[in-house]
Structures are given as C-alpha cells and as structure tokens.
Amino acid sequence: MKFLRFISAGLGAAAIAASAHAAGGALHAHEPEGGWAFEGPVGELDMASVQRGYQVYREVCSSCHSMRLMSYRNLGEPGGPFYDPEYPNANNNPLVKSFAAQDEILSTEPNDVGDYDYRPARTSDTFKSPYPNAAAARAANGGALPPDLSVITKARHGGASYIYSLLSGYPSEDAFSTREVPVEEVEPAESEAEAEGDGAEAAEAGEAEAAEMAGAEGETAAGEGETETADAEEAAPARTETETVIDVSAVEALHHGGGHYEGELVQPVGQYYNPYMSGDTTAQWRGDPRHTPPGGFLAMPPQLSDGRVTYMDGTEATVEQMAKDVANFLQWAGEPKQSQRKSTGLAVMIYLLIFAVLLWFSFHRIWRNVEH
C-alpha cells in the first residue's frame, strides 16, 4: 500500500512538473562570463565591482527600491567597499560622509516651532527610502510594491545570479514590433427600468405615429435610397488599438536556455516580459501551445542600457557589466561580513587540522606500549 502511495505521489509530482513546463516556468539564473569571484570557501568579493555596483544602485535602483537594513557607515566598515584603514571608525570616513550628505532625510526631532525639517543624512542613518510608505510606493508603481534590496540575494533562489540574469535578460529592441488590432465594441445593455419606460412611451405614441406614417410612407420611400447611401458614407471607421508583440525567436536569453521557440508574445500594457521572471505566458502566446516560452511579465521596465551610468574608474558601462556590478554590491549588502567570515573559517579549519595531527601523534606516543 505504501508503495502504491509512493508511486502515486511520484506521478503527481511529474504531472505538476509537466504542467509547469507547459506553462513556461522561468529560465534558470546563470552566472556572468567568468563567474563570481566570491564563490568557494576562499573566494572574495571583487571590491572594485562592489564600488561600481553602489554607483549603479544610487543612480538607477534607488529611485524605486529601498535598503532599510543598510546604514551609510556600513560602506566604510571593515569588509565594506569603501573601507579605509586610516579611518577605523567609519563615521569619520570623509568619503562615506560625503555619500550620506548627498541625501536629505526627514529629521526625527522637531525644530523650534514644532515642525519637522529635512536635513542632510548622517553616516549613522539608514539608506534613504524613495517613498515615505508602502502605499505611496504602490501608487507610484501601478499597484506593485518594489521589494527592499537589503537581503534580496538571500531571498531569491539563485542569489546574485538571479539579479544578474533578471537585469540583463530583457529582450532587445529588435524583438519588439507594434500593430493595430480592431477593438470590438459592445453596446451597453438597457436596464429594466429604462426598458419599461421606453415601452410605456412607445405605447402612448404608437397611435399618433401610425397616423403620421401612413402619410409619410411615400416620401420616405422616395428618399430611402439616398439616406442609406449617406449613412454608409458617414459610418464611423472601426476602432483600433496598438498592440506590442515580441518575436521570441529574437530573444537572446531563450537561445541561452537551450530552447527554440517560434511565435509571438503579446505584451500587456504596463507589463514587461522577462524570461527569468517566474510566471505563465500561455494567455499571451501566439504560437505552438505545446512549446510555450518560459518567463513571465513584471511591472518593472528594463532599467539598464549601455552607458546608463558613467563609471568613475573608466570601466565601460555595458548592460552586462552594470548588472554584474550591482549584483556584486547586493551580494555584499546581504552579508557584509562575508570576507571576514571566510577568513576566520579558513583559519579555524587550519587550526583544527594541526590540532588533529598533534592529537593523533600524542595518542600514539602515550598508548603505544599499552596492550589493548
């Protein structure tokens, strides 16, 4: 009996997986070319990339996304991207202080007349939020709440690779086209009250109209042909609307995923297709229903374009480079002490290995002449 239950559960899981695949799912997040420097037991973050990633966050991401768990001084603490040994106390780091002073936040203390003024942020303050509350954030983003990015690499499967893939995975402009499609007009239905009123009025006017119609039939018949012709000429043209479609064969990320799709996706108004976004594209797919492309639609439009920021170190700001840098920054933000943790862990492992070897020799030295 248990065996049959096991088989049934396995078949059910397979059916769910098959239906998810048919519905599209999402592409698996992938690493940038060259991988991530922080991976592995001794891997360390590329601090130059983390610094550039902070610039991308400030100039692009911070307009919608908050980082409530991060303080400005974290940038200058040991392990941070702007740590300076000359300033062991990050609150005294002039570069970090300049970063904080670029933002103005609402003071928590009232002024002399009881009002709350804006003041330059201090290093002890948390990163400035783009919106005062969640309701304002939803109102500014079509009802969608932009997630906080403090620990986004911990909260999303794939971590930094997910961030990189999502930001760099939008279709290029070559994949898009527009066309005009007719709009079906539906006449509004009459309410019961209006229908009853119309019936009563028609009954009262029926007799009078019958008398008038008898005399007017001749004149109406004479001008009927001309009226029909004029009505046909004056008929309003059919209403159309602009539809945005995506040629999935031109979506580069789908080729990286190993698939081959032929057809079009109709992009809903205010939504943007991304093959790395979990979702269901069945309703928007115009192609073979057995091969629905993976991905979904999200409210965030593509944020990165070549040259969107100008790196201070002269690095070329391509979409892939900016996506990699901001993913590195968010990886650091999710665990600012990652490098120290790995260094400490490696030292502890070496110590335990040496201790184990000494213990082994001590054991044999003490018990070598003792019979067991």
| SS3 per-residue string spanning the chain | CHHHHHHHHHHHHHHHHHHHHHCEECCCCCCCCCCCCCCCCCCCCCHHHHHHHHHHHHHCHHHCCCCCCCEHHHHHCCCCCCCCCCCCCHHHCHHHHHHHHCCEEECCCCCCCCCCCEEECCCCCECCCCCCCHHHHHHHCCCCCCCCCCCHHHHCCCCHHHHHHHHHCCCCHHHEEEEEEECCCCCCCCCHHHHHHHHHHHHHHHHHHHHHHHHHHHHHHHHHHHHHHHHHHHCCCCCEEEEEEEEHHHCHHHHHCCCCCCEEEEECCCCEEECCCCEECHHHEEECCCCCCCCEEECCCCCCCCCCCCCCCCCCCCHHHHHHHHHHHHHHHHCCCHHHHHHHHHHHHHHHHHHHHHHHHHHHHHHCCCCC
Tens of pLDDT, residue by residue over 19-58, are 444 445 788 898 999 999 999 888 899 999 999 999 999 9
pLDDT for 212 equals 55
Residues 165 and 64 in one domain: yes
Q: Give the torsion through C-alpha atoms of 257, 260, 262, 268, to 10 deg.
A: -10
What is the C-alpha separation between 336 and 153, in angstroms, rounded? 12
What is the model's pLDDT at position 221?
45
| CATH number of the domain where residue 158 is located | 1.10.760.10
- CA-based nearest residue to 64, from 125, 152, 123: 152
Residue 367 lies inside a defined structural domain of this protein? no
Q: Is residue 116 part of a domain?
A: no
**Residue 293 maps to a domain:** yes
332 and 264, same domain (yes or no): yes
138 inside domain: yes
Domain region containing 213: 192-237
Domain co-membership, 250 together with 171: yes
pLDDT reported for residue 69: 95
The three-class DSSP label of residue 66 is coil
Q: How does pLDDT run across 273-308, given as a tens digit for each residue?
A: 999 998 999 999 999 888 899 999 999 999 999 999
Domain membership of residue 168 (yes or no) is yes
- The verdict on 55 and 131 lying in the same domain is yes
Asked whether residue 247 falls in the same domain as residue 330, the answer is yes
Q: pTM above 0.85?
A: no
165 in the same domain as 279: yes
CA dihedral over 254, 259, 264, 265, signed as positive or negative: negative
Q: Are 65 and 139 found together in one domain?
A: yes
- Shared domain for 136 and 201, answered yes or no, is no
- Is 113 a domain residue? no
Task: Say whether both 223 and 143 belong to one domain.
Answer: no
My answer on whether 330 and 211 are in the same domain is: no
Tens-digit pLDDT string for the chain (372 aa): 444 454 454 444 444 344 444 445 788 898 999 999 999 888 899 999 999 999 999 999 999 999 999 999 999 999 999 999 999 999 999 999 999 999 999 888 888 888 888 899 999 999 999 999 999 999 999 899 999 999 999 999 999 999 999 999 999 999 999 888 887 765 555 555 554 555 555 455 555 554 455 454 545 444 555 555 555 445 556 788 888 999 988 888 887 756 678 889 999 988 999 999 989 999 999 998 888 999 999 999 999 999 999 999 999 999 999 999 999 999 999 999 887 788 788 889 899 999 899 888 887 778 777 776
Claim to verify: residue 130 and residue 33 sit in the same structural domain: yes
Per-residue burial over 208-230, b = 16 or more CB atoms within 10 Å of its CB, e = otherwise: eeeeeeeeeeeeeeeeeeeeeee
- Does 105 map to a domain? no
Looking at the fold, whether 57 and 155 belong to one and the same domain comes out as: yes
Note whether residue 348 is domain-resident. no
Q: How many structural domains is the chain composed of? A: 2
Nearest to 273 by CA among 158, 176, 360: 176
